[in-house]
Amino acid sequence: MCPKVVDVRYLSNFELRQICYFLAVVEAGNNFSKAAEQLDIEQPPLSQRIRSLEKALSVELFNRRTRPLRLTPAGQAFLEEASLALNHLERAIDNAQLVSRGEIGRLIVGINSGIANSLLPDILRTFRQRFPKVELVLRELTGEQQIQEMRNYQVDVGFEHLPNHYEQATDLCFLPFLQDSLLIALPENHHLAAQSQIPLEALAQEPFVIPSLKNAPSLYTETINLCKNAGFLPQIAQEATWMITVLSLIAGGIGVALLSSNVRTLHRAGVVYRNIQGANLNRQIAALWRQGDENISPVLCEFLQVIAEVASENSKYNL
């Protein structure tokens, strides 16, 4: 068994009141009567409390054979640490109250590479501005990990694309806040790159680079579904996990891909982006968090509020 940090049973023999009263007496210049007045109690109880403290300590804190009273060396030693202790206690109380009001605290945000690429910076900036004392911890995780860590209380809020097979989970809450569309990514020297809009059907014979089902389930299934609707099954040349890899493969001429429109912010030499003609599917980006037993944390609440605000301001991203 690990050694106890603090022997609480021993400490329970003492009383905060005793210690506060002791500090008050010292602050009043070792004057019991004056301290009693400031504490709004009578002098005798104050004397009694100090006595009881001294008895509990088995230590004389004041030398009473002189007026004004003086601290004994032991009293001086006690004063120094006790005053630190009360400072920490005061901070403990303050912090607890601030956290419970969402004014300070920590929020662990799960992000998966590329998702919410568009609004995340705005959201973070706005939140930081409004709650400068809240520490935002970013964790870059795949969707799977994100949800696992969320259930482990290692992540407080994350972002996912919808549809998503976790959507039905009763312990998670989803807030869709952003419309997203897909676009076509091509090698820059591809013969279709000349057009600014490309119908999906034109890709029927093209090899596809496709993000893995595991890491981007929404993108994977959407790609398959869209192609099916356009009358063909995509020919998969290569699967890849990271967006960076996907873009490299495209630049290398391995194939084309359907990607979230937010990748437009990612400029990769050798890759061009083109809109899909006709079909402009509505994918959604949602924030998600534990819909647990506990009350939703104030910090999280404010964060969701900021997401909603930023989303409504930035309708420009919602093409």
Q: Which of residues 83-112 bind a second copy (CB under 8 A)?
A: 83-93, 95-100, 104-106
Site for a second copy in 146-165 (CB under 8 A): 153
Alpha-carbon distance values, 20 to 36, 68, 76, 121, 312 (Å): 11, 20, 15, 47, 52
> Which residues are at the interface with DNA (CB under 7 A)?
12, 15, 17, 30-34, 40-52, 62, 64-69, 293
Binding mask 24-63 for a second copy (x = CB under 8 A): x--x----------xxx----------------xxxxx-x
Interatomic CA distance for residues 19 and 152, integer angstroms: 40
Burial class (CB in 10 A: 0-12, 13-18, 19+), 145: middle
Residue with tokens 């008050």: 24
User: Residue 235 forms beta bridges with which residues?
Assistant: 207
Q: Give the separation between CA 260 and CA 241, rounded to whole angstroms.
A: 15
User: Which of 139, 97, 100 is closest to 120 using CA atoms?
Assistant: 139
Question: Considering beta carbons, is residue 196 or 294 the nearer one to a second copy?
Answer: 294
Q: Does residue 297 bind a second copy (CB under 8 A)?
A: yes
Q: Cβ of residue 150: shortest distance to a second copy, in angstroms? A: 14
Closest CB to DNA among residues 196, 294: 294
The closest of 194, 224, 196 to 208, measured between CA atoms, is 224
| Smaller CB separation from a second copy, 20 or 236 | 20
- What's the closest the beta carbon of residue 269 comes to DNA, in angstroms? 53
Residues that bind a second copy (CB under 8 A): 4-12, 14-17, 19-21, 23-24, 27, 38-40, 57-61, 63, 65-66, 70, 72-93, 95-100, 104-106, 153, 292-295, 297, 299
